[in-house]
């Protein structure tokens, strides 16, 4: 069914939500979720390891099921919804993009740190040549000034991105900062501008609305808020809010509500809420996917997880530096032990 949408939503629970369940999605779970999202007429459904294609590893977390099996399952039941994948150069490879495309994926989202757009060129070019819709994903966008963000977004546009996203990976941006960034990209780019929020400071919805009001055409959401840290903008709530605003998403609100309640909620070990650790992620500006790693290191070394996250923020650690979490926890344990002597 073709629907003219004022805002195009990508549902990320089957990718970003993988962080929240330690990358343990099964084929059966993905089949149920993707089928329900397709029936609700969600335009794009992102599926992969939380850290993108090739992310299953000791460093990032081992998947329960190979992501290509999950992608194939999602494609088979998603109806008119298109399946998207995330790839982070240095983790995911060209080979995996091609494999995903052969399985029926229609969109590739190539993610880099906000100052490292240049490493996306090859991946975006290959995805474009495969006939995929291409998205540049500038992670940790709070860590760069607006002019740098514009420069990096322009690079992604020059490499063939059809859309460039401002990604608030830490959930650290405030609404006026989101508005400023979207406005700058809309003024400088000829391609679509997107926004991906995290809810660590309870601002995902406010930030998303600020992005839309400044002209962002592509928005990410996660049903039942299922995502890294405190989760993302809650998709079913966003659809309801946008309907009140007269903004068309083309998504069936009742079906999304039912999917959230009947299918997604049972997958959650604990509700997606703003805990003390989630709050510190946003406060310290730390990558949301670091949460489970920091909590494990906290138990291993007997150090408060908040201290670990604050120290990571001071080090300005970014995605791909998960090994630093253990180093920081070990150092803090030594310092605290010495202080007790």
Among the options 19, 113, 123, 142, which is catalytic? 19
Residues pairing with 133 in the sheet: 107
81 is in an annotated binding site: no
168 is in an annotated binding site: no
User: Residue 33, class by beta-carbon neighbours within 10 Å (0-12 exposed, 13-18 middle, 19+ buried)?
Assistant: buried
283 is in an annotated binding site: no
Q: Active site includes 19?
A: yes
From residue 267, give the alpha-carbon distance in Å to each of 8, 56, 260.
26, 20, 10
The DSSP line for 140-171 is: SGGGS-HHHHHHHHHHHHHTT-SEEEEE-TTS
Cβ pair 250, 5 in contact under 8 A:
yes
15 is in an annotated binding site: yes
What crossing angle do the helices spanning 175-188 and 204-213 adopt, rounded to 10°? 30
Q: 270: number of CA atoms within 13 Å, CB side? A: 10
252 is in an annotated binding site: no
300 is in an annotated binding site: no
Look at the block and give the residue holding tokens 């000034």: 145
Binding site members for Mn(2+)? 16, 196, 198
Catalytic positions, please?
Answer: 19
Binding site members? 15-16, 169, 196, 198, 287
Binding site members for substrate? 15-16, 169, 196, 287
């Amino acid at each position: 069914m073709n629907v003219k949408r004022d805002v195009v939503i990508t549902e990320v629970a089957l990718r970003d939500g993988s962080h929240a369940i330690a990358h343990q999605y099964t084929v059966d779970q993905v089949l149920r979720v993707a089928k329900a999202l397709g029936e609700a007429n969600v335009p794009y459904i992102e599926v992969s390891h939380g850290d993108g294609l090739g992310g299953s590893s000791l460093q990032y977390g081992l998947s329960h099921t190979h992501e290509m099996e999950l992608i194939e399952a999602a494609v088979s039941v998603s109806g008119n919804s298109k399946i998207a994948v995330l790839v982070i150069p240095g983790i995911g490879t060209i080979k995996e993009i091609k494999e995903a495309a052969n399985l029926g994926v229609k969109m590739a989202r190539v993610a880099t740190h906000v100052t490292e757009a240049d490493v996306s060129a090859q991946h975006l070019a290959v995805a474009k040549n495969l006939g995929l819709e291409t998205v540049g994903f500038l992670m940790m966008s709070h860590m760069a000034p607006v002019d740098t963000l514009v420069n990096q977004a322009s690079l992604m546009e020059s490499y063939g991105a059809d859309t460039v996203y401002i990604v608030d990976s830490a959930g650290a941006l405030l609404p006026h900062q989101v508005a400023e960034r979207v406005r700058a990209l809309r003024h400088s780019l000829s391609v679509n501008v997107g926004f991906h929020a995290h809810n660590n400071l309870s601002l995902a919805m406010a930030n998303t609305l600020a992005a839309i009001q400044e002209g962002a055409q592509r928005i990410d959401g996660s049903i039942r808020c299922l995502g890294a840290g405190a989760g993302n903008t809650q998709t079913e709530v966003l659809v309801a809010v946008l309907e009140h605003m007269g903004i068309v998403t083309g998504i069936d609100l009742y079906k999304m509500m039912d999917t959230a309640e009947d299918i997604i909620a049972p997958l959650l070990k604990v509700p997606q809420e703003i805990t003390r650790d989630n709050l510190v992620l946003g406060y310290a500006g730390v990558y949301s996917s670091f949460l489970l790693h920091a909590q494990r290191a906290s138990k291993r070394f007997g150090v408060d997880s908040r201290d670990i996250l604050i120290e990571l923020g001071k080090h300005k650690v970014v995605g791909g530096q998960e090994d630093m979490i253990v180093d920081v926890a070990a150092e803090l344990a030594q310092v605290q032990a010495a202080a007790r002597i």
